[in-house]
Amino acid sequence: MFAVKVAVVAVLAIVCVSAETSCYADIANPNLYFATKTSYKFIKNTNIDEITLPGCEAVQMWLFSRHGTRYPRNDPEPGGEDFRQTADGNIQSREMELDALTQQMPILRDAVVQNHESGRGELCAEDVQNLRGWTIDIPPELEEKLAPAGEEEMHDIGDRYTARLPGLLDHSYKDGDYTFRFTTASRAEKSCHHFAKGVWGNSEEDTIVYPEPIENDPLIRFYKVCTKWANEVDNNTASRVEWQNFIDGPEVAATVAAVSNRLGFVVPLSYDQVSLTYTMCRYDKALYYGQLSPWCAAFSNSDLLVLEYVDDLLYYYKDGYGFEINWMQACNPVVDVANYFNSIVTGATNKPYGIFYFSHSGAMAKLLARWGLYNDTIVPTASNFAFQSGRQWSTSRMQNFGVNMVFVLFRCELNTYKVQLYVNERLTHLPGCAQDTCLFSEFAAIVKPIIETCDLDAICENPPAYF
Ligand SMILES: *[C@@H]1O[C@H](CO)[C@@H](O)[C@H](O)[C@H]1NC(C)=O
Ligand SMILES: *[C@@H]1O[C@H](CO)[C@@H](O)[C@H](O)[C@H]1NC(C)=O
């Protein structure tokens, strides 16, 4: 009896060892670019050297930011990631994200552990052990709320910008010196508060009187008031054809098969189950960024690149260059920064020192595209993933949690002005400028045609308002 047991164990051990590839837990630098659910912790610039330009001083900064890491949502908005087309062409609502994670992932965890106990699957013992200890505990009231990790992200952005632009931020807080704006979403409001705590500290932040958020704010949430975009893009399955075709194509099929094998399923998982597993891995790594997520062990690096591209395709057509209306509608923030800078340059005022806006990934990507940033010559499609490795359009860096763009205005010798752009705290070349630092005349030439054509109601073909 004993001998038989030993023999069985030995056979199982051989099966396990031979099927085993490598341990996720042992990878020193795993890929943490997780598209729209990439933690800012893995994106941030740790350089806190003061930003200096010889002969110049920074006189104003203008920031536009996505909120930090939030908890999963349970309230699918029309269009985009929450909706998929069924075979008969209807749009079908996907399951609620938080509910799906909470209900399905523990079942999947037990099945994967069972698979490995039965000698199936390719996870190493340590990865299986980590999975055994994995739980999810996100109460429904936290749905979409800014998470503690998101609070830290925003706080640290404020903190680092204070070190880098002390002339603008290293002052005690005074009304009129700074302007804030956030959307009606609590995650945006909280992001603003934590950014301000990072700049001024908790007790001073307490004294700031913030403006009431505006429903469907045309400045920072313009896509909520854009009829043409709702009709042509957000609520139109045609805008999701490339995304859908890629999901139905060979690369995703290979990923689904590889993940199913790795997790030990004889009957392969569905794409939706693989996608949910990916979502669990990414939320784990955003919410608890310092810990390993055992779910990430389900994916090889090439699987992660495929799944990142799924999001990149969706948002290229929903928010990016895929449709003109996506970026055409993002002109109000351009007019806004231009007006602030002009008021300084013309000598009308020398304040505020900082303008800070907190919004959402949909606004951020459209705005980055309005500036012509990350505009590839090869349009990403369902069939050219093989040629996309060098693409600029990347939701992991354009729609990550906490993604932010900052324009800095400098006053230089002889009362001339210069402008720099920072994206995710890195100096970024603005298309239309000869160098990374723009002359004010170059900046003015870039914004001029955008300002001249910026009528949101006209661009969006909005019906006349009722009076
Ligand atoms: C989206 O399209 C459907 C069907 O064409 C329509 O019933 C619905 O009102 C539209 N929703 C929005 C937000 O435009
Ligand atoms: C994106 O690049 C193409 C050329 O590759 C250009 O024609 C187009 O105007 C650019 N779009 C924007 C919004 O800058």
What residue's CA is closest to ligand 2, atom 14?
372
C-alpha 277/C-alpha 107 separation (Å) is: 12
Nearest ligand to residue 329 Cα: 2
Distance 289 CA to ligand 1 centre (A): 38
What residue's CA is closest to ligand 2, atom 7?
377
Distance 447 CA to ligand 2 centre (A): 15
C-alpha 134/C-alpha 138 separation (Å) is: 13
Distance 375 CA to ligand 2 centre (A): 6
DSSP 70: B
Residue 263: partners with Cβ closer than 8 Å, 6 or more residues away: 112, 115, 121, 123, 269, 298
What residue's CA is closest to ligand 1, atom 9?
235
Distance 366 CA to ligand 2 centre (A): 13
pTM: 0.92
89 within 8 A of 96, measured Cβ to Cβ: no
DSSP result, 165-178? -HHHHSS---TTSE
Main-chain phi, psi angles of 217, to 5 degrees: -55, 115
What pLDDT sits at residue 5? 44
Which residues form ligand 2's pocket by a CB distance below 6 Å?
321, 327, 369, 372, 375, 377
What pLDDT sits at residue 281? 98
C-alpha 286/C-alpha 275 separation (Å) is: 16
What pLDDT sits at residue 197? 98
Q: Show the domains of the chain with their CATH numbers.
A: 2-459 (3.40.50.1240)
What pLDDT sits at residue 95? 53
What pLDDT sits at residue 22? 80
175 within 8 A of 52, measured Cβ to Cβ: no
Residues of the chain with pLDDT under 70: 1-21, 75-95, 466-467
Extract long-range pairs of 163-167: CB within 8 Å, 24+ residues apart: 163/48, 163/49, 163/50, 164/47, 164/48, 164/49, 164/50, 164/51, 164/425, 165/50, 165/51, 165/58, 165/61, 165/408, 166/50, 167/57, 167/58, 167/59
What pLDDT sits at residue 465? 77
Q: Evaluate the CA torsion angle 387, 390, 395, 400 in order and state its sign.
A: positive
Q: Evaluate the CA torsion angle 348, 349, 352, 354 in order and state its sign.
A: positive
What pLDDT sits at residue 409? 98
What residue's CA is closest to ligand 1, atom 10?
235
Pocket test for ligand 1, best of 223, 231, 235 (most atoms within 8 A of CB): 235
38 within 8 A of 285, measured Cβ to Cβ: no
pLDDT tens, 225-247?
A: 999 999 999 999 999 999 999 99
Residue 229: partners with Cβ closer than 8 Å, 6 or more residues away: 223, 323, 325, 326, 329, 460
